[in-house]
Amino acid sequence: MTKTHTSPKAGQWLQLISSAGLLIVFFLPWAAWKDSLISGYHLPSGQFFKVSATKFNLANPFPQINFSFYIFWLIPVLAVVTGYLVWQQNSTIWTSFITGALTLSMVAIYFLFSKTLIDLGVGKSPFSMLQIPAYLAVLFAAGLILTATPAGKWPLRLLFLVAGPVFAFLGFMIIEKKVWGETFADTDTVKADYTITAPALIREFAANDTAANRKYREKIIAVDGQVAQVETLADSTVNIKFTDSSKYFINFSLDKKDYAKTQLIKPGDPISVKGSCSGSSYSMILDSSSIDFKRSTLNKK
């Protein structure tokens, strides 16, 4: 006796929409890093770290694990398989759970990596750097997990909803801590690659932004000048800015350890600050470009 095929129910239609949606958005831009659009498939294809290394000097610190990103090719493959199983009215529990968890994990990686790029002066917020397809990927992934058939197993569904992002976050934090601990010495103890006045540095960027970025990015620079602004943030970090009459300004972000030392600094004071240059970034809202520094400290002469 042959099995009679019946039309999908409402929950199954949601699964079909979610699986088809994931298949489409996987190949659309998930993040915008300055003028570079990074699609979902760029992580398993290797383009993700190729762009970050070429344009922002931020390569994968552990290239030996590049092969592990191939697992994300399962997202479009299992999205197709899930859609087929839904149409055949078979169980989709495991294909939906795995597809959804991998997608949520990958979105978390894009978010965390975009957040890291902000420390290099690229963008202002990871939420604005993520593109609409990334947010749709979250919606479709959650839809797959929550509507997987047969119904039930809610503790398992909730586990797969959070497992991917939690795993990505923990892994990212461990790698970041290890890389920063091994790669970057305390700025206080590092000899500056360049010593320059604030007006001279601004003029150099204003004259040829591309050449200046190539010369100074990721270099330790000591900058001497008169303070234009001292900004104390809610987390006790302090921004010290130097300006001139051009549309460029220099921004040093000092760590909490320098909080006490900066309390007596006021606009107009001559000081020397040392840090790692993140390069320049343009703000359409402010119609100006900032030359940003990280891991900064007051320079001891």
Flag the least confident range among 104-113, 201-210, 285-294. Answer: 285-294
Do you know the residue count of the chain? 301
Tell whether 144 and 205 lie within a shared domain: no
- 231 pLDDT band, cuts 50/70/90, is confident
In a domain? residue 1: no
Give residue 38's pLDDT.
95
Which residues, at least 6 apart from 269, have a Cβ–Cβ distance to it below 8 Å? 226, 227
Tell whether 29 and 111 lie within a shared domain: yes
Top-confidence residue, 30 or 214: 30
Instruction: Return the residue matching tokens 């790698």.
Output: 175
Tell whether 255 and 169 lie within a shared domain: no
| CATH code of the domain covering residue 235 | 2.40.50.140
- The mean predicted confidence, pLDDT, of the chain is 85
High-pLDDT (> 70) share of the chain, %: 88
Give residue 183's pLDDT.
45
- C-alpha distances (whole Å) from 31 to each of 39, 238, 287 are 7, 29, 23
Tell whether 174 and 198 lie within a shared domain: no
- What is the chain's Cα-based Rg? 24
> How do residues 75-100 score in pLDDT, each as one tens digit?
999 999 999 999 888 999 999 999 99
> How do residues 177-228 score in pLDDT, each as one tens digit?
655 554 445 677 778 899 999 999 999 999 998 899 889 988 889 999 999 9
- Judge contact between 216 and 196, C-beta under 8 A: no
In a domain? residue 129: yes
> How do residues 113-155 score in pLDDT, each as one tens digit?
888 887 666 777 889 899 999 999 999 999 999 999 888 889 9
Tell whether 52 and 159 lie within a shared domain: yes
Our count of domains for the chain comes to: 2
Tell whether 199 and 157 lie within a shared domain: no
Question: Strands, E, within the chain: which ranges?
Answer: 29-33, 36-39, 194-197, 220-226, 229-232, 238-243, 248-254, 270-283, 288-298
Domain span holding position 167? 10-183
In a domain? residue 54: yes
**Beta bridge pairs of residue 288:** 283
Give residue 177's pLDDT.
64
Give residue 7's pLDDT.
57
Give residue 226's pLDDT.
92
What are the structure tokens assigned to 203, written together?
């003029």
- 1 pLDDT band, cuts 50/70/90, is very low
Give residue 279's pLDDT.
85
Tell whether 172 and 195 lie within a shared domain: no
Chain centroid, CA 120 distance in Å: 10
In a domain? residue 150: yes
Top-confidence residue, 128 or 283: 128
* Mean pLDDT, residues 273-283: 84
Q: Among 183, 206, 239, which residue terminates a domain?
A: 183
DSSP string, 126-171: HHHHB-HHHHHHHHHHHHHHHH-SS---HHHHHHHHHHHHHHHHHH
Burial pattern 169-184, b for ≥16 Cβ within 10 A else e, equals eeebeeeeeeeeeeee
In a domain? residue 4: no
Q: Among 120, 151, 183, which residue terminates a domain?
A: 183
Tell whether 104 and 234 lie within a shared domain: no
Q: How many CA atoms lie within 13 A of 72 on its CB side?
A: 26
In a domain? residue 3: no
User: CA 145 to CA 83: how far, in whole Å?
Assistant: 13
In a domain? residue 5: no
- 45 pLDDT band, cuts 50/70/90, is very high
Give residue 247's pLDDT.
83
